[in-house]
């Protein structure tokens, strides 16, 4: 037991030295100081955070087939974010049914909302665009948001990632009462309207191709047999959401 306590103290001291070095002596200290303002703590593994802000659309495949982009961190961050939000909602709304909790979680973690949070908190400042900011896809900001959470988790563990999500993001930038009153998504809005109007909604994938080493999906939505909107994204689901948004605007929903 004494050995583990002493090892824990040594590990904590080592992290303090790493944090001090990153903040005051490293070549990345300007980046570290800016990131500290966003996170509320000093990043230890700086390369992780740089990777989190590197969109896959700006990365070419290496000779061995690997890519240095934020996709894997995004995958991890998505899981961590979902778990933290699910626990928060479970505790905050003890008398609500599963359906309500699921819908609220979807509202919080959908790509559009995460993208808005990324811009609101200043995460977009850190995204590595390689001078091509105009080529950023609309999902890039939400992807970076999730990738950042993945980086925090690997760098500091679950509790620090949870603290960052709840104390730095949810508490200061999310109004849960207002979120309850908003529609889940344009797709849900379109489907609900169509059911009331007794019109059939059909999403059709009309094209998919490689773009930046990843599949890009193009979708058309038909309402009542008429083409009402188009969308494209690296996720079929998000492409349908974009098409639904166009349809909602066209139909005045």
Give the Å distances, CA to CA, from 19 to 24, 108, 109: 9, 31, 30
Q: pLDDT tens across 88-98, in order?
A: 999 999 999 88
User: Of the ranges 89-98, 109-118, 179-188, 203-212, which is most confident?
Assistant: 89-98
- Indicate the pTM of the whole model: 0.73
Residues 76 and 104 grouped into a single domain: yes
Per-chain mean pLDDT for the chain: 87
| Cα separation, 164 vs 162, whole angstroms | 5
Domain of residue 119, CATH code: 1.10.1520.10
Residue range 111-119: mean pLDDT, rounded:
90
Asked whether residue 36 falls in the same domain as residue 54, the answer is: no
Residues 15 and 62 in one domain: no
Same domain for 79 and 204? Answer: no
In this predicted model, which residue has the larger pLDDT, 227 or 100? 227
Residues 148, 62 share a domain: yes
Higher model confidence: residue 33 or residue 212? Answer: 33
Q: Are residues 83 and 148 in the same domain?
A: yes
Distances (CA, A) of 120 to 2, 96, 115, 142, 173: 46, 29, 9, 12, 8
Residue 110 shares a structural domain with residue 142: yes
94 and 28 part of one domain? no
Q: Are residues 9 and 80 in the same domain?
A: no
From 181, 209, 233, the end of a domain falls on: 181
Q: How many domains does the chain have?
A: 3
Query: Quick one: 76 and 113 in the same domain?
Result: yes
Pairing of strands 226-233, 201-211: unpaired
Q: What is the CA radius of gyration of the chain?
A: 21
**Both 158 and 60 in a single domain?**
yes
Q: Which domain holds residue 33?
A: 1-40
146 labelled catalytic: yes
Based on the fold, state whether residues 176 and 198 are members of the same structural domain. Answer: no
- 174, 175, 165: which is closest to 39 by C-alpha? 165
Query: Does residue 143 carry a catalytic annotation?
Result: no
Question: For 85-195, where are the E strands, in sequence order?
Answer: none
Which of 130, 149, 181 terminates a domain? The answer is: 181
Give the active site residue among 112, 143, 146, 241: 146
CATH code where residue 209 lies: 3.30.160.20
For residue 7, pLDDT beyond 60: no
Burial of 40 (0-12, 13-18, 19+ CB in 10 A): exposed
More confident residue, 253 or 156: 156
- Domain edge (last residue) among 148, 181, 214: 181
From 71, 74, 78, 233, the catalytic residue: 78
Supply 242's token pair: 């974009």
* Res 11: pLDDT: 65
């Amino acid at each position: 037991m004494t050995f583990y306590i002493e090892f824990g103290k040594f590990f904590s001291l080592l992290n303090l030295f790493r944090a001090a070095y990153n903040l005051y002596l490293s070549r990345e200290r300007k980046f570290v100081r800016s990131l500290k303002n966003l996170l509320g703590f000093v990043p230890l593994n700086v390369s992780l955070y740089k990777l989190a802000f590197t969109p896959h659309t700006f990365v070419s495949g290496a000779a061995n087939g690997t890519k240095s982009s934020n996709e894997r961190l995004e995958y991890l961050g998505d899981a961590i974010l979902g778990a933290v939000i699910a626990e928060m909602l479970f505790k905050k709304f003890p008398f609500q049914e599963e359906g309500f909790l699921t819908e609220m979680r979807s509202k919080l973690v959908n790509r559009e909302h995460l993208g808005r949070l990324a811009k609101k908190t200043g995460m977009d400042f850190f995204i590595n665009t390689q001078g091509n900011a105009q080529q950023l896809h609309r999902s890039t900001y939400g992807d970076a948001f999730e990738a950042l959470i993945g980086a925090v988790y690997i760098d500091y563990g679950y509790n620090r990632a949870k603290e960052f999500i709840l104390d730095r993001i949810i508490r200061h930038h999310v109004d849960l009462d207002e979120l309850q009153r908003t529609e889940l998504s344009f797709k849900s809005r379109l489907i609900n309207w169509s059911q009331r109007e007794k019109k059939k909604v059909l999403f059709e994938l009309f094209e998919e191709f490689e773009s930046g080493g990843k599949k890009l999906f193009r979708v058309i939505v038909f309402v009542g047999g008429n083409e009402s909107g188009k969308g494209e994204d690296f996720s079929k689901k998000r492409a349908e959401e974009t098409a639904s948004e166009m349809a909602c605007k066209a139909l005045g929903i």
